[in-house]
């Protein structure tokens, strides 16, 4: 192992730069040359590379987003696209490649490794926290804190106006962001994919709270496949409850901003682990953190297996929201 590459793919997540920085410093400390690939798989297909040294990653640990930029590449998900990617990697003289991203990134990586034998190690970067094989993804903690800050602010006006608020957070097809920000923000109810809840049932639950003296309430909604579902839910609830409501969709606000301590440390730890894995001869796997320890999960498992919500945390929300 003499020369390696690194890229970020899919949605950006705070802490990706901490991971890039750690990987670069670890590679250089071990006598490896490292290059960055701009714009994820799209940049890989075009051979868009840049040398990385200490100067390139200096003063980046506090930055959100990714200094290497990112994208989604439908072309890479074709066999012809992956053949071109493998050839670019060969021509660039890369002995291994580090991929920072989520499920889609690792799905593509598993195909590339299987078809062309390319040496690849992944690092989970996703605010959705939906990647199997790690307790937390880079960016999740920052996004959850962003959602919490919004909930705290909204509670002030909800209380002042005796109003019902629906706060919609990101999360794709999972409820990790909604659950943790909901617990921390003291939300009255959750609407998440893992626990289907009809508008009638939601209305009944809210009504019980108003009966015991609550004058305002916050419902945290996981956006699901498309943002904006909270407007439909609010309209449906209005048919059951004669209560004024408002909707706040946080959207991409949750992706940006300086990473938290947790995401900076996690990014740094996993960046070091990814380089170490390549040096140890590992490939076709993701370096994650499970119960405080580094764990390597095969790429196929990262996107084929569904990461479940913690049942104990769900129970705690139910208990505390009563």
Phi (first) and psi of residue 242, to 5 degrees = -90, 70
* 301 belongs to the catalytic site: no
Closest CA to 275 of 16, 19, 15: 19
CA distance 95 to 90: 8
Q: How many helices (H) and strands (E) does the chain have?
A: 11, 11
CA distance 258 to 192: 27
Helix (H, G, I), strand (E, B) or coil at 283: coil
Residue pair 196/204 in contact (Cβ under 8 Å)? The answer is no
Residue pair 94/88 in contact (Cβ under 8 Å)? The answer is no
In the structure encoding, which two tokens stand for residue 112, read together?
């590339």
Residue pair 17/67 in contact (Cβ under 8 Å)? The answer is yes
C-alpha to C-alpha distances, 149 to 146, 156, 167, 181, 256, nearest whole angstrom: 5, 11, 12, 9, 14
Which one is catalytic: 128, 130, 141, 300? 128
Q: Which residues contact 100 (CB under 8 A, 6 or more apart)?
A: 6, 7, 8, 9, 16, 19, 20, 66, 122, 123, 125, 138
Q: For strand 285-290 and strand 293-298, is the pairing parallel, antiparallel, or unpaired? A: antiparallel
Determine if residue 257 is left, alpha or beta; phi over 0 gives left, psi from -120 to 50 gives alpha, anything else beta. left
C-alpha to C-alpha distances, 29 to 26, 121, 210, 274, 276, nearest whole angstrom: 5, 19, 61, 14, 11
In the structure encoding, which two tokens stand for residue 158, read together?
């909800």
Catalytic amino acids? Answer: 128
């Amino acid at each position: 192992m003499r020369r390696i590459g690194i890229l970020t793919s899919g949605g950006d997540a705070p802490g990706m730069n901490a991971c890039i920085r750690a990987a670069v410093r670890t590679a250089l400390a071990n006598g490896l040359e490292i290059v960055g690939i701009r714009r994820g798989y799209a940049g890989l297909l075009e051979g868009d590379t840049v040398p990385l040294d200490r100067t390139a990653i200096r003063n980046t640990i506090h930055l959100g987003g990714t200094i290497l930029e990112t994208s989604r590449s439908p072309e890479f998900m074709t066999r012809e696209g992956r053949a071109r990617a493998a050839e670019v990697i060969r021509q660039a003289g890369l002995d291994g490649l580090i991929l920072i991203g989520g499920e889609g990134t690792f799905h593509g990586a598993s195909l590339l490794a299987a078809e062309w034998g390319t040496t690849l190690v992944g690092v989970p970067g996703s605010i959705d926290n939906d990647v199997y094989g790690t307790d937390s993804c880079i960016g999740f903690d920052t996004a959850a804190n962003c959602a919490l800050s919004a909930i705290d602010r909204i509670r002030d006006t909800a209380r002042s106006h005796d109003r019902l608020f629906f706060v919609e957070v990101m999360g794709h097809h999972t409820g990790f962001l909604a659950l943790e920000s909901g617990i921390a923000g003291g939300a009255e109810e959750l609407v998440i994919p893992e626990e289907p809840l009809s508008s009638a049932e939601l209305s009944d639950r809210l009504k019980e709270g108003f009966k015991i003296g609550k004058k305002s309430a916050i419902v945290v909604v996981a956006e699901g496949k498309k943002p904006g579902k909270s407007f439909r839910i609010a309209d449906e609830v209005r048919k059951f409850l004669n209560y004024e409501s408002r909707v706040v969709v946080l959207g991409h606000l949750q992706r940006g901003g300086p990473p938290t301590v947790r995401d900076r440390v996690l990014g740094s730890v996993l960046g070091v682990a990814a380089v170490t894995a390549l040096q140890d001869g590992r490939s076709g796997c993701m370096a994650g953190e499970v119960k405080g320890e580094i764990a390597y999960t095969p790429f196929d498992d990262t996107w084929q297996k569904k990461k479940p919500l913690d049942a104990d945390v769900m129970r705690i929300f139910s208990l505390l929201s009563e």
